[in-house]
Every structure is written in C-alpha cells, then in structure tokens.
Amino acid sequence: MSDSPAPARPLEQTLFDEWPANVRALFDGSSLTDKVGFTASLLTVDANGHVRTSLLSVGELYAPDSRTLCLALWPQARATRAIAQSGRAALSFVCDAEFYQVQLRVAPLPGVAGDDSGVVYLLGSIDTAEAQSVRYARLTGGITFELQGEKSAVLERWEQQVEHLKRAAAASSR
C-alpha cells in the first residue's frame, strides 16, 4: 500500500444557481462595443430530437438579475421553435478561462412598445449551471467573431435589442 497522496483532480467544477459577478458583467447590456466577438452557443432540441445550436452575441443576451437571462431571437430561428415546444435550452460559453454550461427554463417575454424589429424576446431562468476549468490548460477563448462591413449598424441594432430586453424584463417583473 502506498503512502503517497491521491492525485489532484484535474477538473475543477463549480455549480451555481446565480450568475457569478464576472458573467453578470458580461451580460449586463453595457459596453457592447468592448464585448464584440464574444459568442455563446444556445443549444436546443427540436421536435425530431436533434440538437441544434444557435450562436448568440452580447447584443442578444441580457441578465436583468442574478438568476435570469433574457434572449433576443429571430422568430424563424430553429431555436425559437424548439424553445416554444420544450421551454428549455442550454447556454454554453467561455468567460475568464472557464467553460460555462447553463441549463435554462425559458418562457416568452411580452413585446415592447415601439419595437418593430420582429425579434422574439424570451426570459430564461437558471435551472442548473456549472463552470469548469482544468489546472493544466487555460481556456483563452471560445467561439469568437469580428464584425465586418456594417459594424455600426449591427452595434446600433444590438443596442436597441438590449434596450428592448431591459424594458421587457422590467415589465415582466412587475
């Protein structure tokens, strides 16, 4: 029998039911220009049981409080249809060298007066969530992108979407 200590677990896993401060700051709807390139994967399961992925930016995500996340999706998106059927989705992303996966229960948010974008607003609440990292490797990013062409138009649309998400979230909590 060996007296050597058990090897350290290479996987560090943190379970949470409220957004950590760094993630909340990422989804706070501010400084969108500084957050361009961040991408989250929204995973849903369609009626045929197929897993579908939609890539979302900070212009489509807003955390109004520590336990919820508002999403802006196009009505024709497969994710929108899948969520309408199941009321569930998972969001995966990298933030500050950790991999996050958050299981969400999702419901529609009411529309916002003056919003003619056609975007569907949803309110997700954290069901279960975890952050993972390993000591031997540091995540330096997830899926990232850079805006091309109409960067200012995209940023303006994001600003409007996040403002609509903020108003819809505030209206739903009354």
The region that residue 113 occupies, defined by phi over 0 for left and psi between -120 and 50 for alpha, beta otherwise, is beta
100 domain residue, yes or no: yes
pTM: 0.85
Question: DSSP assignment of 86-107, as one string?
Answer: HSEEEEEEEETTEEEEEEEEEE
Query: What is the greatest pairwise CA distance in the chain?
Result: 73
150 domain residue, yes or no: yes
19 domain residue, yes or no: yes
80 domain residue, yes or no: yes
Q: What is the radius of gyration, based on Cα positions, of the chain?
A: 18
pLDDT at 145: 86
The conformation of residue 48, written as its DSSP 8-state character, comes to: T
pLDDT lower than 50: segments of the chain: none
Residue range(s) defining the domain that contains residue 94: 11-172
119 domain residue, yes or no: yes
Domain count across the chain: 1
142 domain residue, yes or no: yes
149 domain residue, yes or no: yes
Domain of 18: which CATH number? Answer: 2.30.110.10
Kindly report, residue by residue over 3-53, the tens digit of the pLDDT.
Answer: 555 556 678 999 999 999 999 999 999 999 999 999 999 999 999 999 999
pLDDT at 10: 78
3 domain residue, yes or no: no
- Cα separation, 42 vs 57, whole angstroms: 10
